[in-house]
Structure 1
Amino acid sequence: MNGDNNNGDDLPPCRVLFRSKEGIEVFSIQSNRDRESSNNADAAKKNGRNFLLKGETTFQAFLPDGSAALVHRPNKGIFKVDLSGGDDDDDDDDDNKVSSNDNEKNNTPFFENTSRVQIIDVSPKGNFLLTWERAAANSDETENNLKIWNTSTGECVTGFRKKSINRSSWPYVQWTHDEKFAFLLTTNEIRIYNGSFSELAETRFIDKIRIPGIDSMSLPSCAASADGGVAVMGKILFAAFIAKDKNKPSRASLYEYPPATVVSPSSPTPYPSIASKSLFQAEEMTVHWSPRGDVALIALQSSVDNTGESYYGSSSLYLMSQQTDAIAVPLPQDGPILDVAWMPNAERPPCFAVAAGRMPSMASLHNGRDGKATFLFGNRHQNTVSWAPHGRFVNLAGFGNLAGGMTFWDKNKGKQIPPANPIVASCTVGYGWSPDSRLFVVSTTSPRMNVSNGVHVYRYNGDKVNTVPWNNDNYLPDRLLQATFIPAKPDIVYPDRPQSPTLKDLGTGPDAAATSSGIAAAPKPTGRYIPPSQRARAGRGGNSLADRIKAEKDGKMLGAQKVTNNNSAIKRGVVGQAGKVVVGLAPPEQKEGKSKSALRREKLQQKKREEEAQKELEAKIAAEQKDPVDPVKRAKKINKILRQVDELKQKDPSELNEDQIKKIASEQELREELSKLKL
């Protein structure tokens, strides 16, 4: 039985917008497998291409309701492309062509004098567009270049002067979820305006918040709510990042407006924060708001890692809310935070997923209230977390500088959805879920990748949709700029449907039994002798490429598993113990629950292993003394092996066999031996 037919037959297909060097196109694609092949095949047979807007473009943004796309064309301006009409799957009669084609014919942008705009942002309800353009060299010092536009009329509502911008601080104007107020970020303060900017003939702020040194701010796109989902009336939450100065460290803080205690803007008393976290090395803040808008997940990034473990700096993650102060999120693996994303369904208990650590990184699921890990997805080459809109499915992938491997998971079941074949979407630049949570699109686009441009679609279980209503040959070699699912219209409500067929039916691969149980199968590790001084470190793996490759080869990495009080990861002190484990330090030994006799036996066994190791070492030394080695010949042989090691390190690690991996792992030992020869 195909569960995709359940509550999904009467719903319209999802739509994908393509932005290429030729113009804007829209395609419809079926997510129902019984209908997708025939419908998509019929659409693909069409030879012509129906452009909603022709010509070269630079960037675009959707209105939240999916009714239009705001597209910038160089040397012309910003056009409003109406998406409420047909697409290439409709009939070719004129009634299905949208009104934006009229703008294309007369070359008139919807927003006047916007040809020099470089960056845009759309308000939460889509009523306003924020733009910034670099001020002209001969422009008046009072000329506004940060402008707010009405998206319905194309009229410029108001503007401000902003000589330059910092991308990490954008957008400089942010609206509350209901667009009742607008917050403008200025030097050392935030100015608050009426959200429509229309009550006064001359735009003036109605209040201001003094925060010295403020560098960026963030407002949630939905109303702040309590645990029961009830909106906190009259309170506006926002987060701010205060850059460090000579005497004070950087600080990320959570505020509410209006504050609990009245503070005059001219008062020397600092504006009171709800929660705050100070870090000397932090240089940038990224805020991820929970779907209820009541909890801020704050990632702090610095360009310098004082531990010396990473060339790319260090990062840390904190939860802030009205109920608690800043909580450090305990991660199951040390290393950089690669991606963070909240489960988007506000009707379910809040949780979020994190991909963190050196490759192969660990992805984990965390409780949205205390930050503790509840599930480990396992070690893989992954740096991207992408939730389906309903929050049931999540895609964990390795995009960007990784090979493009993807795994799909059912969060409700806590299990990986077994694909029919291994999933690799190589050279992926853009990606995203369809509004009905059934399809996942990946694209290879220019200018990031100037070869193999095209768009591919996968179902939520990893099956590739082979018949699509577009021809990827049209975008070769470097013609495609962007491919994105269009947001669903407000009158379209896609149901939250479970997977179908069942996991058992989908499990056709050799690892199906292991993945369906939620525990990834791993061979019993066997390896070389490890000295006692290195055994505590060996369980976590070394930092070198050879150590990490060997860990993968030997199956020493963690697979998918739930995190419980008795979990082995908990016992190692790695996961779920906020405030007890310091990132970067070795976890403490956990000996609770063992009797004295058991501890005594362990101590005797450890002593016996050390004695055996010492005897082994002495025997090796005696053998070397009995049969002395010619230093010159030995040095020549070592240099030859080191040259081979250098050549192997230039290759793709996945192509190396076991002997080659062992040869790389022996590099340090060989270099030490070579130095002892003193030639």
Structure 2
Amino acid sequence: MSDDEAVDAVHRLPHEMYERLGSVTGGGLRFNIVSDAHKNTSSSSSGGDDINPVVETSVQPRANQISSSTTNSSEEYQCIEYTRDGSLFASIVTSSSSAMCENDEDESGGQTTSKTNKTSKTNVVLFDGETNAEVTKISEQFVQGASCVAFSNTGKFLSIYRKGANHAGGTKEKNLSVWEIPSKENDEPKKVFECFQKTFVKQEWPYLQFSKDDKVCARCVTNEIQFYDAEKFEEEKEEEETSSLARYRIPGVALARLSMSETKPTVGVFVPESKGIPGSVRIYEVPDVKKEKGVSEPNAVARKSFFRISEVDLKWSPDGSALLVCGYCEVDASNKNYYGESSLHFLKADGSLDCKVDLSKEGPVHDAQWSPTSENFAVCYGFMPAKCTIFDAKKCVATYELGAGPHNTIRWNPFGRFIMLAGFGNLPGDVKFYHRLFDGKFKLMGSCRAACSVTAEWSPCGRRLLTSTVAPRLNVDNGFKIWRYNGELLAHVEREKLYEAAWRPRKEGAYPSLGISKNSKRVEGGSASGSVNAIPEKPAAFVPPHLRNKSGGSSTSGMGSRSNSGGNFSLATVSAEEARAGKVKAAVDNIAKKQQQSQQKRVIPGAEPVVNETAAQKKNRKKAEARRAKKLAEEMEAKNKV
């Protein structure tokens, strides 16, 4: 596929993104259209015979922007939450207004004094994703103090959490509510459910989880999990027995995550370690909320127990067939890591397989991400330079190594064709792009450096990457960059104060799954020959004369490069063998060899080795020996008759 064909494929639905700006930059929300074109220009050096592709990308503001200030009031947008198809978005809007009022005359001077009264109110406003027009709002008497919002999977319900709820004196204010979004115009949202949420952790939000079709809603409370029929929501009564709900009694449950399976949804549960009893992650089937009511103690479909894990991150595959468990402990028993230790476990939803993911390098697990196809998952792990390995989701076996480097972040594109490795946070921001081939191999497409980046997100078409530097994580050099799938810089926009930047979601199937263009070139350092957005090369860092022409002393080679060539600027050196990508053949052979050696007790020349057998293996062996003996006896009897 050529670049022009790729542009035509996504031209029917342009890329859109939004920004949430600070008051210094004008405040409010800014919506942009990202348009790109691929043009062929002739090279003057060869008389116009050579054709060079040139990428031109522009970021233009959309019409119908949302302003943040009026004559007597100013509005602050705390967050933006889109539905999955991008047709609607919600924002928490805090309006501050000031009014001048005159007091009575002063007795001494006879002059009047004026006073400014400031008032603020909070509303949750819903906007149309296409026109940015206000659709409806939820008044402040219901959402005063709102801090987080979240849409359900189909966009039918909106969850709102309000902070600052006071439950002193035995009264518990219901600060978590669910609103049904009207399907018709001029209709107002309807509150269908509310309850009290005592604690709030951003990583565990939303606390009310919906199934993929929005028919079931699950909530994790003390020692149990409650399941609601989303079509018949009822208010939770704290002091009365809620016999109309389906409730799973699970003592000590701390976290629950609902899978997105379309056929048979399941829920993953974490129970921490307590009084010498190991912690465990369990998988339960979701009950039929229309038939099953009351409290029950279900049987786990799958279960994995472990010690020295205090917190977990449960990551379901997109189709709900498997679960990755990232476990963390604050104390490292080996005293090798100041920040504790981590591990990764794998469980099948049907209970057919549960194991610890075999990682070939010692160190923490930095990131683990599922492919959108649910066929593979990628893990970034180990002490720096960290390794990245692709695993097969059917058997949890390593299939491909992407090499080692200063990386701690993994991002798949929406179609699972491309994968990005990056090093953000305390790492310099080196980014690598790989293309997944049909035979399971991964080909390096290019690399770049997105310095000081905080977030990274693929576009809905899967061919653009958005990296941003936002506040309050970093209060300087705010802005965002848009990269091509091969590491070529397409656009760089700087802002005085930027709080958020992200793509507008699109409906599934809106964009086709496109691979690499025919005339695509490998890019190193974020610039390509002929690109109008090429990064100018910075002067190389000064190297003392006595260090020149030595290993690691050159400013353009080695791990200590400060130039804009996209090299790995990290104190952790990477050998050529570690950085090389390839299939995991040697690792598989070594694991099989170790297992074979561990099974054998001793080897006597001329005798069969003694092998450790499980009860099932021993039973099967005895059955096979009995069958052979019976067959031999029948043959001997037949010979005697003859």
TM exceeding 0.5: yes
Q: Secondary structure at the match of 2:254?
A: strand
In the alignment, structure 1 residue 280 sits paired with structure 2 residue 307: yes
Match of 2:321 in 1: 294
CA distance in 1, matches of 2:595, 2:203: 32
Match of 2:510 in 1: 493
Match of 1:412 in 2: 437
In the alignment, structure 1 residue 326 sits paired with structure 2 residue 354: yes
In the alignment, structure 1 residue 30 sits paired with structure 2 residue 35: yes
What are the residue-to-residue correspondences of 1:212-611 with 2, within 5 Å? 212-223=251-262, 231=263, 235-258=264-287, 270-321=297-348, 322-345=350-373, 350-412=375-437, 414-419=441-446, 422-466=447-491, 471-472=493-494, 475-476=495-496, 479-489=497-507, 493-501=510-518, 505-506=521-522, 551-552=573-574, 555-564=576-585, 567=586, 569-573=587-591, 580=595
Deviation at 1:345? 2.6
Match of 1:171 among 162, 186, 206: 206
1:450 to 1:193, Cα distance in 2 relative to 1, 3 A = same
Deviation at 1:500? 1.0
The 8 Å contact of residues 192 and 234 in structure 2, kept in 1 or not, is answered as no
Deviation at 1:57? 2.4
Match of 1:79 in 2: 124
Match of 1:117 in 2: 146
CA distance in 2, matches of 1:557, 1:506: 21
Unaligned runs of 5+ in 1: 87-97, 224-230, 513-525, 528-547, 582-586, 591-679
1:37 to 1:146, Cα distance in 2 relative to 1, 3 A = farther
Deviation at 1:457? 0.2
Deviation at 1:38? 9.4
The 8 Å contact of residues 147 and 158 in structure 1, kept in 2 or not, is answered as yes
Deviation at 1:85? 2.8
The 8 Å contact of residues 62 and 68 in structure 1, kept in 2 or not, is answered as yes
Deviation at 1:335? 1.0
Question: Partner letter of residue 123 of structure 1?
Answer: S
1:10 to 1:457, Cα distance in 2 relative to 1, 3 A = closer
1:64 to 1:80, Cα distance in 2 relative to 1, 3 A = farther
In the alignment, structure 1 residue 99 sits paired with structure 2 residue 133: yes
Summarize deviations over 1:428-487 as a string: whole Å, max 9, x none.
012201000010000000100000000110011111103x7xx52xx22xx100000010
CA distance in 2, matches of 1:82, 1:109: 12
TM-score (norm 2): 0.70
In the alignment, structure 1 residue 151 sits paired with structure 2 residue 156: no
Match of 1:141 among 164, 171, 174: 171
CA distance in 2, matches of 1:373, 1:193: 39
CA distance in 1, matches of 2:595, 2:12: 50
1:290 to 1:142, Cα distance in 2 relative to 1, 3 A = same
Deviation at 1:154? 2.8
Match of 1:637 in 2: none
Summarize deviations over 1:322-344 as a string: whole Å, max 9, x none.
04242211112221111111110
Deviation at 1:495? 0.6
CA distance in 1, matches of 2:284, 2:594: 24
Deviation at 1:408? 0.4
CA distance in 1, matches of 2:427, 2:275: 39
Deviation at 1:291? 1.9
CA distance in 2, matches of 1:147, 1:337: 36
In the alignment, structure 1 residue 19 sits paired with structure 2 residue 20: yes
Question: Partner letter of residue 570 of structure 1?
Answer: V
CA distance in 1, matches of 2:214, 2:198: 26
The 8 Å contact of residues 2 and 519 in structure 2, kept in 1 or not, is answered as no
CA distance in 1, matches of 2:422, 2:59: 32
In the alignment, structure 1 residue 187 sits paired with structure 2 residue 214: no
Cα root mean square deviation, aligned: 3.6
The 8 Å contact of residues 244 and 280 in structure 1, kept in 2 or not, is answered as yes
CA distance in 1, matches of 2:572, 2:412: 31
Match of 2:607 in 1: none
Question: Partner letter of residue 50 of structure 1?
Answer: Q
CA distance in 2, matches of 1:81, 1:364: 42
Summarize deviations over 1:202-222 as a string: whole Å, max 9, x none.
997431111010001001234
Deviation at 1:284? 1.4
198-207 or 177-186: bigger deviation: 198-207
Summarize deviations over 1:365-401 as a string: whole Å, max 9, x none.
0001111110000001000000100110111100111
CA distance in 1, matches of 2:4, 2:325: 37
The 8 Å contact of residues 69 and 82 in structure 1, kept in 2 or not, is answered as yes
205-214 or 146-155: bigger deviation: 146-155
Identity of aligned residues (%): 26
The 8 Å contact of residues 372 and 416 in structure 2, kept in 1 or not, is answered as yes
The 8 Å contact of residues 56 and 490 in structure 2, kept in 1 or not, is answered as no
CA distance in 2, matches of 1:296, 1:201: 30
1:143 to 1:550, Cα distance in 2 relative to 1, 3 A = closer
Quick check: which one's strand share is greater? 2
1:489 to 1:292, Cα distance in 2 relative to 1, 3 A = closer
Unaligned runs of 5+ in 2: 41-52, 70-74, 95-119, 183-187, 529-549, 552-569, 601-642
Question: Partner letter of residue 144 of structure 1?
Answer: K
Q: Secondary structure at the match of 1:56?
A: strand
CA distance in 2, matches of 1:24, 1:52: 7
The 8 Å contact of residues 251 and 278 in structure 1, kept in 2 or not, is answered as yes
Q: Secondary structure at the match of 1:59?
A: strand
Aligned length: 497
The 8 Å contact of residues 3 and 519 in structure 2, kept in 1 or not, is answered as no
Question: Partner letter of residue 434 of structure 2?
Answer: W
